[in-house]
């Protein structure tokens, strides 16, 4: 049984960056539906007792192609949104700390340079998808993007995402309409680097 992340903040708590109706629809409808569909299909595929990371890293073990696709899409939707909503906060820390801060400085030169690279990936993702900052066990960082509900786990990389930037239109269209770049800027206003830094520490521990 996979459990949807419960928001520890009110639906209007991320305003003005992300509006209440978008949070309500995104979490209450889209994310809830991915979770319900994952649970139904993971049961059929016999993977309901595994962790979601394990399921997404081993999709090729699901023999039936239709079931594999359903678990890939809904499992991605479940996992990606758990990460998205759990790393946003009305009290967001605006800079990383500890090992992650050092690594970003060493690799990208500055936090702004990393944010620019991530924003470019997010803006350039054609149609629905995500932009990611991910880490591997050695602490290397990867900036990437994926279509649909794919992610670095389901794409078979050794990386685990620590930032999930949702650029499906359902993440921003009610407020930002066609202006994806404005939403991307707003995303960073509520992205909690304290949580992102803690995820990096977990992966590289
Ligand atoms: Mn979404």
18-65 confidence digits (pLDDT tens)? 999 999 999 999 999 999 999 999 999 999 999 999 999 999 999 999
Q: Do domains 20-86 and 98-204 have the same CATH topology?
A: no
Among 111, 109, 106, smallest CA distance to 163 is for 111
Q: Could you tell me the residue ranges of all domains in the chain? A: 20-86, 98-204
Find all residues with CB under 8 Å of 11, minimum gap 6, and list them.
Answer: 20, 21, 23, 24, 27
- Return the CATH number of the domain spanning residue range 20-86: 1.10.287.990
Distance 30 CA to ligand 1 centre (A): 7
Helices (H), the chain: 20-25, 32-45, 52-57, 65-86, 98-108, 111-124, 173-176, 180-190, 193-204
CA of 62 from ligand 1 middle (Å) equals 25
Domain 98-204 fold is minor pseudopilin epsh fold (3.55.40)
Per-residue pLDDT of 138-171, as tens digits, reads 999 999 999 999 999 999 999 999 999 999 999 9
Pairing type for strands 160-166 and 129-135 reads: antiparallel
Interval between CA 101 and ligand 1 midpoint (Å)? 27
């Amino acid at each position: 049984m996979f459990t949807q992340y419960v928001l520890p903040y009110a639906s209007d708590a991320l305003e003005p960056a992300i509006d209440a109706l978008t949070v309500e629809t995104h979490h209450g409808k889209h994310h809830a539906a991915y979770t319900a569909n994952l649970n139904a299909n993971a049961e059929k595929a016999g993977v309901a007792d595994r962790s979601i990371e394990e399921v997404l890293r081993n999709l090729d073990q699901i023999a039936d192609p239709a079931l594999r696709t359903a678990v890939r899409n809904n499992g991605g939707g479940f996992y990606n949104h758990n990460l998205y909503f759990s790393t946003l906060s009305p009290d967001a820390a605006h800079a990383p700390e500890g090992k992650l801060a050092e690594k970003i400085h060493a690799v990208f030169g500055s936090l702004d340079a990393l944010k620019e690279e991530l924003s470019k990936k997010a803006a350039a993702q054609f149609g629905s998808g995500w932009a990611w900052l991910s880490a591997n066990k050695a602490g290397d960082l990867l900036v990437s993007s994926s279509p649909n509900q794919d992610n670095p786990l389901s794409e078979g990389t050794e990386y685990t995402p620590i930032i999930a930037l949702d650029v499906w239109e359902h993440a921003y269209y009610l407020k930002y309409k066609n202006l994806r770049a404005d939403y991307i800027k707003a995303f960073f206003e509520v992205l909690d680097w304290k949580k992102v830094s803690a995820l990096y520490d977990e992966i590289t521990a």
